Structure 1
Amino acid sequence: MKKSTIFIFFVAILISSLPAFVSAEKYIINIKGDPRTPDGKIDLMYSAGLVTDKGTIESETKIDNDNGFFEIKNAVLDTDASFNYVAPFVQGSCFLHSYRVVRKNNRFEVSDGYRSDQDILIATNSTTIDLGVLKEDMSNQAMVDFDVPVKFLAEDLSGNWIAENGNYTKFTGMSNSFKSNTKYKLTLTTKDNEKIVKEITTGNYCESTRLIKRGSYFLAESFPNNSFPPIGFFRNIWLSILGFRMIVIIPLVVAILVIITMLFLIVKRKRA
């Protein structure tokens, strides 16, 4: 009876300690934030959620563009799971905010998803994490529209790497990697290993910048809402003429000569 009593007592202790053990390994967390433009206006969102370095996990997401906030509710942070962190994100046309949340040192530590996880932004014991006002400092997009395939490399004027595309293509660039109203150096490398180095200046917040090359002619232009409207057929011809591209100029001259000849023959026939 004595051994039986000890066994029952041990089981009772184990059962009573189980909820505390589970709560120490699994946490239900809530995350919220307020995206804003540089001048403090509401920055419109179209998606938000929670992912891990191993995939997505379930959570309840609310986006409120009228009041300018998002919430990710009832997300399970399992410290025994195979993933190392959870990454809340919120995205709009001009921004993509991403963070890491880990359970470490008996607290939740939050770091910027684009920077080192050693740079702790928030350290809290609360399961409700308020990211506060979120402002995007890399809202702009840049691309090139060339007449030959090129590799794309963007650097700031101090030589720091910004963006890169190692494939040869006529239309290339990187999204949401550039600050507004800032100068950057673009190095475009052709298949013949010719390096074309150009400097561009990005536009205002959430404006795209496109560098066009037609022959020897280069043109940089900016558009609102990070858009890249089509150049258009006739404008392409005009840009090619400005760049003295013989592949366009010769057929155009031939077409003009044919039209002039036809008009001359028509006028001559009428006079006869």
Structure 2
Amino acid sequence: MFRPVIFFALLACGLASKKSVFFNKFNPKIIGGSAASIEEFPYMVSLQLDFLGIIRLHMCGGSIISQNWVVTAAHCTEDESPSSLVVRAGSAREASGGQVRSVSQIIEHPNFDQGIPLDNDIALIRVSQPFVYGTTVHPVVLPAANAAVASGTYGVITGWGATSQGGSGSATLLQVSVPLMTNNQCTQYYAGNRISNGMICAGYQAGGKDSCQGDSGGPLAVEGVLVGIVSWGAGCAQPNAPGVYARVAFYRQWISSNTGI
């Protein structure tokens, strides 16, 4: 669940993680996006709170990186136990279909900082039973360590997050394309908030298209390569407020040392 202390602290500075607040978990969607099929994005998963196997509520997104591992944002798993979570893969609907797996292990980055802004916002989830690969379930490609992506390159965000800031939306998977920018460019929009080497920014100066609450932990991919993990931003789809993502290439060695991938 979204922790109130973090929530109000981030609001005080006009920033917020893009993890779903509790009341939005019932109606999660991306802003300015279009419908996406799971066959287009077979690595996409929904990370869900599990209440005795009776009720499951979408909380965050994630990406399959192997038959046993998913990568997501650390602020999604923070203070959650493996037994409180399940992962749904292979379905464009967050509430039904696909393959549901319980969670056996959570590994958060040891230097995850829940402050303002979030830093080292990455976590690994081991599922209790391997995913069965097929047309709707398949791992995303991971980038080489410290691989660079040119500013202006377009990446695709997928998720079930809110369709407007504080709003609700469809329970089916959406996608939206956004241009990447350099960290120096991003710093101009977030003066006073450190954009670290472990972050990458993407968005339109005019706003209108973005990830939002409920999209946290989900992928920002460039031609099928996982470039970023939805992390935080100043509201959702606001002008001069790009989304900020954990830069996967920066954490490539950490991923490998913990998963062997």
TM-score by length of 1: 0.24
TM-score by length of 2: 0.25
Query: Quick check: which one's helix share is greater?
Result: 1
Query: Quick check: which one's strand share is greater?
Result: 1
Q: Which has the higher contact order (CA 8 A, sep 6+)?
A: 2
- Bigger radius of gyration: 1
